[in-house]
A and B are shown apart, each in its own frame.
Chain A
C-alpha cells in the first residue's frame, strides 16, 4: 500500500520539531552549527544527515485572504519526495537503492559503496554522500517505524499537522479538499505540488507532496523536475553513432597508411 507525506505549508509554524524528531529517531550526526544570517533557517538544505529541513521565506507580499498585512511568512518542511520515478533509484549501479513495500525509496546501507551517482540523479538535490561515512543517506520515510505500524517521527512530532502521513490515495483527497477550502477563504494562490503523475510527469508524482502558495522556486523546489533516465536512450544512440564513426576513422587511418609510400 503506497504511503507517504502530505505537507500543508499553510499551517507550518516553523518550529522545526520535525527536524529535531528526525535527527533524534534516526540518530543523525549534526551538520555543523552554522549561522546562515539569511533568515531563521540555519539548516540551509537537505543533506546526508539532514532529512527534514524547514525553509523560511519572508516576502513583502500579502497572503490571499489575510487583511491588513503587507508582509507574509512562508514556511515549508522539506523532505525526500520518494518519487514514483526516482532518479536516484534509476542511477544506482549496485542495487543499494530499492523501493520498499510502502512504495518509498530506501538506501540499503549495507550495500551502498558510495559511488555518488545517485547524487547527480536527484532533481531535488536531496540525497548526498556523508564525508566521514562514505555512503549516501537520505530520508527512509522511517522504514523501521513503518515496519511496526508506526508513523514517521517527523509526522508524529508535527504539532500543527502540517506534515500528514498516510495512504497516498487518502492524502490526495485530503489535500484537494484543503486546496478548495483555502480557495473559498480567499487564498486563491494555494495549489498542490507533485500530488500525482498528471501534475508532475517528470517524477511520476511524489509520495511526499506539498501544498504551496507561491512558485515552487520560492521554496527551492524545481518547477518541472524530471528523473533523467527518460532521456538516456538519446545519449546511447548518439554514442552508438559516434562509436561507429570511430571505427570508420580507424579503418580509414589504417588503410590509408597501409597503401601509402614514403
Chain B
C-alpha cells in the first residue's frame, strides 16, 4: 500500500539519500594497475603455453609486470584503508558474497605466483598466475557493480567486459612503452592484443552507456560534470590510440598510440569512479530508478516547497 501523492517535493530538500563512496584517488588508480597486472599475467601464461620459442622472451616480462603491478596495486589499496595497519584483516575470512573479500584473496595470491613465474619460469606457476589474472582483471568491475550506487549497479552485466577490455589495452600499451628488448613478433602480438582490447573497450563502453541510460537520470553522470568530461576524453584518447596502433607507420606514431591508449584507460577508470560519486550525490537517480522498476507513478523531484508569505498568514 502506498500513500497518496503529496504536493511539493518528493526528495528530502534534494539531499543525497546514499553516502558517497569514501574511496580516494588510489582506488581508481588501482583499478587501472590491477587491470594491467591481471591482463599481463593472462597474456604471459598464454604466451608461455602456445607462444613457442620465438615469443618466449615476452613471457617473463609479462610476469614481472604482473608481479610489480600486484605489489603497487596492493599498496594503493592499503593506502586507502581507514586503518591501513589492519590490512591483514582482509584475509581474516573468505566470503563468496563479498566481491571485496574474493578480490582481496585474489590480490593476495596473484603476485606471489607471478613472482615465482618470473623468477623460475616454470609452466605451473605461470599457468596459476594466468588463471588468477582473469579475476584480478575483472573483479573490480564486479565489486563496484555490487553496490547500491545506481550508475554502477545498472551496468552490472557490462562493466566486467569494459574493465577487461580496458585492461587488455592497458597491459598491451604499457608493455609496448616499457624499454624492453623484444623480438618484432612479440611487438606484433602485443599490438594485436591492444587493438582488440581497445575495440572491445569501446564496444563495452557503448553497452554500458545504453544500460545506464535506461532511466535517463541514472546515466547523466556519464554526460555531465567531471565524470562526463573524463568519459568523453577517455573515448577520444582510446580511439586516437587505436587509430595510431592500426595505421601508425613510424616508431614515434606507435609510441604516441601507446601513450594515448594508456591515458585513455586511466581516464576511463576515473570516469567510472567519479560517475559513481555523482550518482550517490543525486537522490533522483535512486528514486527514479526504483520507481521505474517498481512501476510506481513518477514523482516530483524538483525544488522543495517554499512557504509563500500568504500561506503563512493563513495558517496563523
Contact = CB atoms under 8 A, between A and B. Distances in A.
Given A61-B8, A254-B189, A232 B147 contact: no
A9 to B, nearest CB: 11
B51 to A, nearest CB: 5
Interface stretch (B63-71, B86-94, B109-117, B223-231): B86-94
A232 B186 contact: no
Contacts of A217: 10-12, 283, 287, 299, 301
A223 B2 CA distance: 9
A194 interface: no
B47 A254 contact: yes
B229 to A, nearest CB: 23
A228 B186 contact: no
A90 B98 contact: yes
Interface string B95-134: 1011111001000000000000000000000000000001
Chain B interface residue number, banded? 35 or more
A220 B283 CA distance: 8
Interface string B142-175: 1111111100110011111101110110000000
B99 to A, nearest CB: 7
A234 B286 contact: no
Given A191-B2, A239-B160, A229 B139 contact: no
Interface stretch (A10-18, A118-126, A157-165): A118-126
Q: Residue among A188, A213, A218 with the most chain B CB within 10 A?
A: A218
A258 B81 contact: no
A2 interface: no
A257 interface: yes
A38 interface: yes
A245 B43 CA distance: 12
B200 A94 contact: no
B250 interface: no
Given A128-B19, A213-B3, 19 more contacts: A55-B12, A60-B8, A60-B311, A71-B311, A113-B86, A113-B90, A115-B82, A120-B18, A120-B21, A120-B152, A125-B17, A128-B22, A215-B6, A217-B11, A223-B290, A231-B153, A242-B161, A246-B167, A253-B189
30 contacts: A55-B12, A91-B146, A94-B86, A94-B90, A111-B86, A114-B83, A114-B86, A116-B82, A120-B147, A120-B148, A121-B147, A121-B148, A125-B17, A190-B3, A222-B17, A222-B286, A224-B294, A225-B148, A228-B148, A229-B97, A231-B146, A231-B156, A235-B142, A236-B142, A241-B161, A242-B163, A245-B161, A246-B134, A255-B50, A257-B186
Interface of A: 36, 38-39, 41, 44-45, 47, 55, 57-61, 69-71, 87, 90-96, 111-117, 119-130, 133-136, 188-191, 212-215, 217-226, 228-229, 231-232, 234-239, 241-243, 245-247, 249-258, 260, 262
